[in-house]
């Protein structure tokens, strides 16, 4: 029976004396998509930042393969991809150049994946335009295109995706493409932690963590 790869135990966080959550525990199994839900200000983004290792909880611990993430940071960072509210791309670079740069950070060299990802993200014709000249939706597509690259590389793919409102500024075709990508990643044994107001059409196991 598969074992949980990601586990959180008794997480507590407060901001300016406002308690966002406490005694929050959960585990995530391979092949599972987890919705993080709650009203604005309930701590959804904060929780994702804790899971990504960007900030520490006041109490509690996050474990990856039964090891605290702050003790095996390199191993965990290689296994995790975090996409926050920002697209995570450089405005001075084109879409193609951004994906080459993102691939190089992971030690990937299959340039063919870049062209496939750009086409699948409906960025044909915009590949060589500096991202600073693209619309908000197009920039978002460039940032999310790296999911397609990592998903298609079986050996170096991140096992855990942490996505904060990834559907922002994405049109209907983009929503459908991202849903398909998330389904495919989970079907291969990957895991996704996601905040979204979009009810996705998924064919994989899901769970919900409600804050607030």
Distance from C-alpha of 170 to C-alpha of 176, rounded to nearest angstrom: 10
Distance from C-alpha of 56 to C-alpha of 52, rounded to nearest angstrom: 10
- For the chain, the average pLDDT equals 88
pLDDT tens digits along 9-18? 999 999 888 9
Element (H, E) at 192: strand 191-195
What pLDDT score was predicted for residue 1? 61
What pLDDT score was predicted for residue 176? 87
Distance from C-alpha of 146 to C-alpha of 58, rounded to nearest angstrom: 32
Of 55 and 113, the one with more pLDDT: 55
Output the CATH code of domain 6-210: 3.40.50.300
Q: Where are the domains of the chain?
A: 6-210
Q: What percent of the chain has pLDDT over 70?
A: 92
For residue 194, name the pLDDT band (cuts at 50, 70, 90). Answer: very high
- What single DSSP character describes residue 43? S
Distance from C-alpha of 189 to C-alpha of 82, rounded to nearest angstrom: 18
- What single DSSP character describes residue 57? -
**Widest CA span in the chain:** 50
Could you give the 3-state DSSP secondary structure of residue 154? coil
What pLDDT score was predicted for residue 117? 85
pLDDT tens digits along 138-191? 888 898 888 887 644 444 456 899 999 998 878 888 888 889 989 999 999 999
**Token pair 């496939």 is at which residue?**
116
Of 60 and 110, the one with more pLDDT: 60
What pLDDT score was predicted for residue 155? 46
Distance from C-alpha of 154 to C-alpha of 185, rounded to nearest angstrom: 10
Could you give the 3-state DSSP secondary structure of residue 53? coil
pLDDT tens digits along 70-92? 876 778 888 888 988 777 789 99
Task: Render 68-103 in DSSP notation, one character per residue.
Answer: ETTTSHHHHHHHEEEE-SS----TTSBHHHHHHHHH
**Token pair 């004396």 is at which residue?**
17
- Phi–psi pair at 130, nearest 5 degrees: -55, 135
For residue 109, name the pLDDT band (cuts at 50, 70, 90). Answer: low
What pLDDT score was predicted for residue 85? 78
Model-level pTM?
0.87
């Amino acid at each position: 029976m598969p074992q949980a790869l990601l586990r959180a135990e008794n997480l507590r966080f407060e901001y300016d004396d406002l308690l966002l959550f406490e005694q929050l525990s959960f585990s995530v199994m391979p092949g599972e998509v987890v919705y993080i839900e709650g009203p604005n200000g309930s701590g959804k983004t904060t929780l994702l930042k804790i899971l990504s290792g960007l900030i520490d909880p006041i109490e509690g611990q996050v474990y990856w393969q039964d090891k605290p993430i702050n003790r095996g940071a390199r191993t965990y960072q290689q296994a995790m991809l975090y996409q926050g509210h920002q697209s995570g791309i450089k405005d001075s670079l084109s879409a193609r150049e951004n994906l080459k740069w993102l691939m190089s950070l992971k030690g990937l060299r299959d340039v063919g994946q870049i062209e496939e990802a750009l086409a699948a993200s409906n960025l044909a014709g915009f590949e060589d335009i500096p991202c600073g000249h693209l619309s908000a939706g197009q920039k978002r597509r460039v940032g999310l295109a790296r999911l397609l690259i990592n998903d298609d590389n079986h050996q170096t793919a991140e096992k855990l995706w942490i996505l904060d409102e990834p559907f922002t500024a994405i049109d209907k075709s983009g929503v459908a493409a991202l849903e398909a990508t998330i389904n495919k990643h989970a079907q291969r044994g990957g895991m996704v932690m996601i905040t979204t107001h979009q009810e996705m059409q998924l064919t994989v196991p899901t769970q919900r963590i409600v804050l607030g």
